[in-house]
């Protein structure tokens, strides 16, 4: 009885480098979202310390 439960080939075909989204564009998107998020977390921490007497 053969074992047909072999793991799938990795990486997934959509993740292989075959002319998909450029890495620089992905990095730009992360910065575009991450910078305001990081600033918001910073402001939250700053104001929380003021609120709770830090």
> What is the pLDDT at residue 17?
57
Does residue 12 register a pLDDT over 80? no
Intra-chain end-to-end CA distance of the chain, in Å: 67
> What is the pLDDT at residue 29?
97
CA–CA gap between residue 8 and residue 49 (Å, rounded)? 49
Domain boundaries along the sequence of the chain: 22-51
Contacts of 20 (CB under 8 A, 6+ apart): 14
Q: What is the pLDDT of residues 22-37, one digit of tens each?
A: 999 999 999 999 999 9
């Amino acid at each position: 009885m053969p074992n047909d439960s072999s793991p799938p080939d990795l990486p997934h075909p959509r993740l292989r480098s075959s002319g998909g989204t450029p890495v620089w564009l992905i990095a730009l998107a992360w910065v575009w979202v991450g910078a305001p998020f990081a600033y918001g977390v910073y402001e939250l921490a700053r104001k929380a310390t003021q609120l709770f007497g830090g």
